[in-house]
């Protein structure tokens, strides 16, 4: 099947689908089949990460789809992210090599710094992916490595042909502003938590003005965090049943999920939803066949309550001050 999403041209010159498939929380037991079915449905971008712990299975799905002739490698846009324990340049190279081995690929199309946080190094043999483990039980340990050093490592990966484009994730405006002062290769994309409860309009405006593509995750707000037992998510009304979203969806004969995704994509923000349901899988991908009015976009944006579900300050009481 041909891809159903339009593409955006990154400042690196490469094309990225506006709608991709998010691999976060995709179970290892079903990941290969889900990736294969998503490709069969028409998805061409797959947003993964070392920390998700499923890159081997994602790679199996990609390999099977290519072997079956569903798609060619160059038609796919495969994304991964450098986890916090690997920020030193030598360790970043070790981690990238592991990602490429797990995905069974020679290169990835986009490689992010997952968080602007440098945990202590944990060897692949000791624990991979390490998650919050920093080599000392449940205690957080950090390394004195600057973001400029880590970014320099990612730039070298581009030079070596291991990565086509490089980006940043979960950076605030000040960190983006600082990185741009020293970067030899500008970030192609910034991935952020983005939904009507967390619009971040000034950050979006600034980053887009710099020619950097915004990619939003958790487009459905609290939905992604409910199964994690997230306290704030449980106390936050679902966007799927919000009267504003439902009214707009009914007007366009679309699902509330499609309206939430269109609210982002119509503002040139890429999205990475996922679903196990074949009908929703296709519906999430086909969100560019209708347009919201300016008034509808404004009404959705007016739901902004500065509610952030993914905040390092709250990680096991770590109090890491990225967003304070």
In whole angstroms, give the CA distance from residue 77 to residue 201: 27
Question: Has 114 been labeled as part of a binding site?
Answer: yes
Calculate helix-pair angle for 55-67, 28-41, nearest 10 degrees. Answer: 40
In whole angstroms, give the CA distance from residue 41 to residue 174: 39
Cis omega (within 30 of 0) for bond into 160: no
Which residues are known catalytic residues? 52
CA 313 to chain centre: 20
Q: Which residues are CB-neighbours of 149 under 8 A, at least 6 positions away?
A: 87, 88, 89
Q: Return the number of other C-beta atoms located less than 10 Å from residue 301's C-beta.
A: 13
User: What are the helix and strand counts (H, E) for the chain?
Assistant: 12, 10
Tokens of 20: 């991709």
Q: Which residues are CB-neighbours of 34 under 8 A, at least 6 positions away?
A: 26, 61, 274, 276
In whole angstroms, give the CA distance from residue 319 to residue 301: 29
Tokens of 316: 């096991």
Q: Which residues are annotated as part of the binding site?
A: 114
Q: Which residues are annotated as part of the binding site for substrate?
A: 114
């Amino acid at each position: 099947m041909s891809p159903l999403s339009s593409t955006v041209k990154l400042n690196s010159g490469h094309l990225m689908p506006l709608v991709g498939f998010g691999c976060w929380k995709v179970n290892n037991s079903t990941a290969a089949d889900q990736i294969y079915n998503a490709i069969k449905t028409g998805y061409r971008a797959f947003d993964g990460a070392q920390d998700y712990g499923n890159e081997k299975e994602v790679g199996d799905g990609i390999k099977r789809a290519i072997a079956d002739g569903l798609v060619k490698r160059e038609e796919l846009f495969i994304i991964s992210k450098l986890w916090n324990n690997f920020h030193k340049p030598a360790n970043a190279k070790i981690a990238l090599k592991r990602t490429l081995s797990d995905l069974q690929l020679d290169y990835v199309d986009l490689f992010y710094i997952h968080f602007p946080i440098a945990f202590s190094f944990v060897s692949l043999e000791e624990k991979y992916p390490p998650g919050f483990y920093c080599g000392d039980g449940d205690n957080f340990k950090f390394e004195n490595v600057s973001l400029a050093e880590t970014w320099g490592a990612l730039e070298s990966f581009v030079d070596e042909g291991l990565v086509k484009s490089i980006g940043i994730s979960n950076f605030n405006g000040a960190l983006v502003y600082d990185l741009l002062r020293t970067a030899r290769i500008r970030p192609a994309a910034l991935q952020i938590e983005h939904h009507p409860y967390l619009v971040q309009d000034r950050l979006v405006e600034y980053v887009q003005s710099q020619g950097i593509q915004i990619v939003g995750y958790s487009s459905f707000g609290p939905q992604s965090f409910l199964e994690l037992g997230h306290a704030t998510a449980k106390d936050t009304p679902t966007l799927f049943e919000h009267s504003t979203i439902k009214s707009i969806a009914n007007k366009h004969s679309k699902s509330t999920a499609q309206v939430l995704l269109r609210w982002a994509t119509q503002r040139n923000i890429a999205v990475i939803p996922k679903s196990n349901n074949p009908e929703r899988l296709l519906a999430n991908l086909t969100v560019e066949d209708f347009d919201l009015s300016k008034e509808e976009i404004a009404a959705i944006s007016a739901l902004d309550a500065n509610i952030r579900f993914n905040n390092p300050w709250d990680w096991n009481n770590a109090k890491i001050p990225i967003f304070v």
